[in-house]
Amino acid sequence: MFKLGLSDRYYYPVTVRIPVDGKKPHEFTFDAEFRRLSQDEIQALLQEVQSGAIDDAALARRVWIGWRPGHVVDEGGAALEYSESARERLMSVFPTQSAIIEAWSDAIRGGREKNSR
């Protein structure tokens, strides 16, 4: 059964692989909260990307609107609450932007299970 009226947002896992001094990258995973877009909104956004009208950072800002509480912590290990400044801080860590976009793309394509078949 398909149920209309889904929430206008959803969580999806993001894995960020951070390079560390020539060693195997450290892997960090958190649940990002994404804006649920209509098919038309997705198409328009993808056209903006393809035309070069927006870059990766702008795309991430348009679709990524939060994270599950407790999934992102600061240097001292305290839970970092979502805010635009906290998002910008996290986006400045390479390669978080591309990991966010990859997770969002995966989510709109139907998820990892579908793609692994």
pLDDT in tens, 53-85: 999 999 999 999 999 999 999 999 999 999 999
Residue 21: pLDDT over 70:
yes
pLDDT in tens, 48-58: 999 999 999 99
Residue 90 lies in a domain: yes
Tokens 């398909």 correspond to 2
Residue 117: pLDDT over 70:
no
Percent of the chain scoring above 90 in pLDDT: 79
Quote the number of domains for the chain.
1
CA angle at 114 for the pair 56 and 37, rounded to the nearest 5°: 45
Domain of 48?
Answer: 9-109
Residue 2 lies in a domain: no
Residue 64 lies in a domain: yes
Residue 3 lies in a domain: no
Residue 68 lies in a domain: yes
Residue 95 lies in a domain: yes
**DSSP three-state, residue 42:** helix
Residue 72 lies in a domain: yes
**27 sits in which H/E element:** strand 23-35
Residue 54 lies in a domain: yes
Q: Which amino acid is at 20?
A: V
Q: Which amino acid is at 64?
A: W
- Please tell me whether the peptide bond between 69 and the residue prior to it is cis, using omega within 30 degrees of 0: no
